[in-house]
Amino acid sequence: MASPKAVSPSKDPSRVDPPAQRTDLGFDQTSLVKADPNKRYKFVSDTMAESGVEAHEADGWEVERYEDGGVKLLRGKTARPGEPVTLYGQVLMSISKAEGERIEREGYLGGLGQNYLDRVRDAMTTRNGGVGQTAAQMSNRYVRVTNETEPERYVSG
């Protein structure tokens, strides 16, 4: 007796598969509802002093708080009006879009922003993306290069 021939599931005309669905339930837990398009948002640690809420407040960021009609998480805890918007111990903070773009471009206090990083990249690369300077040429500014033929010998004494 011959066994029935197996039919590939993809070629079986009687098989009807449901449409594909996202495995992450179709949303990002950090998605915001009623976000102000004139603001930039980010989550900040509530426990780190040097880069946490207080440091960001000193740089002009504001803690977002639950308000009727205000920004909130698509999914998150229920909170009372006036409480900070939080997710997994992170506090939602915002700054004006113009100021956020200035900080990204120039850095805080005119420091290490994207403009500075672009200058460093341009100084270290050529037009075709290769290394533009040898280590000896960069030694004064970026690295210290020494020319030693024998390692120093340390004598305990």
Question: Residue 5 domain-assigned?
Answer: no
Question: Residue 59 domain-assigned?
Answer: yes
Least confident of 11-15, 111-115, 131-135: 131-135
- Average pLDDT across the chain, whole number: 77
Domain that holds residue 49: 32-102
Question: Residue 124 domain-assigned?
Answer: no
The pTM (predicted TM-score) of the whole model is 0.59
Question: Residue 97 domain-assigned?
Answer: yes
Question: Residue 157 domain-assigned?
Answer: no
| Distance of alpha carbon 151 from alpha carbon 47, whole angstroms | 46
pLDDT at residue 1 tops 80: no
Q: Is residue 54 helix, strand or coil?
A: helix
For residue 61, what are its two tokens?
A: 């960021």
Instruction: Please report the sign of the dihedral spanned by the C-alpha atoms of residue 86, residue 37, residue 106, residue 137.
Output: positive
| Distance of alpha carbon 9 from alpha carbon 1, whole angstroms | 24
pLDDT at residue 88 tops 80: yes
- What residues have CB less than 8 Å from 59, skipping those under 6 apart? 103, 108
Section 59-78 average pLDDT: 87
Question: Residue 146 domain-assigned?
Answer: no
Give how many domains the chain has, as a whole number.
Answer: 1
Burial (CB < 10 A; 0-12, 13-18, 19+), residue 91, is buried
pLDDT at 82: 94
Question: Residue 92 domain-assigned?
Answer: yes
For residue 91, what are its two tokens?
A: 């506090």
Q: Give yes or no for a contact between 32 and 89, defined as CB atoms under 8 angstroms apart.
A: no
pLDDT at residue 17 tops 90: no
Provide the phi-psi class of 60: left if phi over 0, else alpha when psi is between -120 and 50, else beta: left
